[in-house]
Amino acid sequence: MKFFFSILFALIFSLNISANPFLPNEIKEFMSFYPDVKYTADYDISVFDWKIEMKADLFFDRTAKPAGEKSAVFYWADGRLLPKEELSNKDNYWVLRYKYTNTLRDPKTYTEEEIEQMKTFGSSESRKNMGGTPMFFFDWLYSAQSKIIIEEHIIRTTFLGKPTRIHERIWTPLKNVEKKIKESLLNPEVKAFLDSLKSADAYHWREIAETSRKSFHSYGIAVDVLPKKLAGRAIYWGWEKERSGDKWMLVPLEKRWMPPESVIKIFESEGFIWGGYWAIFDNMHFEYHPELIGK
């Protein structure tokens, strides 16, 4: 089958078609979530995969003119965007667009099997060994090759009145979130949420606990909104695991701190996902992923 396709593609390219009519929709769709990234794609018959060349303006400060251009080459790898040398390790990586379910599931409905899966997922041994999100595209997009390089793109600002540091790429969506939240202050829930806010930390160069992968806080595109008082409520699975052990996933929803639903919806409307919907819940955490939320 692969051989047949390679002959077919070789024939097509010998016809010298410039706009590739065979480019899969999933590639076009993924790239549409990052509209400032210009790209060309060609089928590379030597590895039976789409080779995507990307270019984007290089900004240090979103409010100033671009300082140059940057480029990169990735292979689609069924939705993983890998460099050529990683294609043989493809199965070690998750696909970039996983299903983001934005409804809360009552822990009472978890099956024994699901509980076991969550326990395994939350154990330090499996967190060390499991695969993960391939970060190559994000490393390039956010210039996250090192602490020194990325910090040229990190902006000091405030969010909802709290000092924070964010990546220049999320400046506009995060400011839009802030504007929309302030516009809904007549909603008493939103007012109480704002009044109770302690901090809104975003950029922090660190590794994910017990793994060698970087968290999206290291990219400055995740924001933690923390209340002044938790009053015994759970907010993060890892802290709950320390407090109550292996049953952390069974904490009832009403015993978890939650931002108002309208605030979650506002974040989602600007391309941020909420960590409270994950089984490995992180209710303070919002992360910029327009490719997951469809913004």
Which residues make up the interface to Zn ion (CB under 5 A)? 222, 224, 285
Residue closer to Zn ion by CB (options 206, 243) is 206
The nearest distance, CB 177 to Zn ion, in angstroms, is: 15
The nearest distance, CB 201 to Zn ion, in angstroms, is: 8
- Sequence-ordered list of residues with C-beta below 8 angstroms from that of 101, at least 6 positions apart, any chain: 277
The nearest distance, CB 284 to Zn ion, in angstroms, is: 6
The nearest distance, CB 182 to Zn ion, in angstroms, is: 22
Phi and psi, residue 169, nearest 5° = -70, -25
Residue closer to Zn ion by CB (options 167, 285) is 285
Residue closer to Zn ion by CB (options 82, 225) is 225
Q: Which residue is nearest to Zn ion (CB)?
A: 285
The nearest distance, CB 272 to Zn ion, in angstroms, is: 12
Residue closer to Zn ion by CB (options 224, 240) is 224
The nearest distance, CB 27 to Zn ion, in angstroms, is: 30
The nearest distance, CB 68 to Zn ion, in angstroms, is: 31
Q: Which of 13, 29, 10 is nearest to 21 (CA)?
A: 13
Residue closer to Zn ion by CB (options 72, 222) is 222
DSSP per position, the chain:
-HHHHHHHHHHHHHTT-SS-TT--HHHHHHHHTSTT-EEEEEEETTTTEEEEEEEEEE-S-TTS---EEEEEEEE-TTTT-B-GGGGGGGGGB--S------SPPPGGG--HHHHHHHHHHHSHHHHHHS-B---HHHHHHTT-SSHHHHHTTEEEEEETTEEEEEEGGGHHHHHHHHHHHHHTTTSHHHHHHHHTEEEEE-----BPTTSSSBPGGGGT-EEEEEES--TT-B-BHHHHHHHHGGGGGG--GGGB----HHHHHHHHHTTEEEGGGSSS-BTTEEEE-HHHHT-
Residue closer to Zn ion by CB (options 168, 224) is 224
Residue closer to Zn ion by CB (options 87, 208) is 208
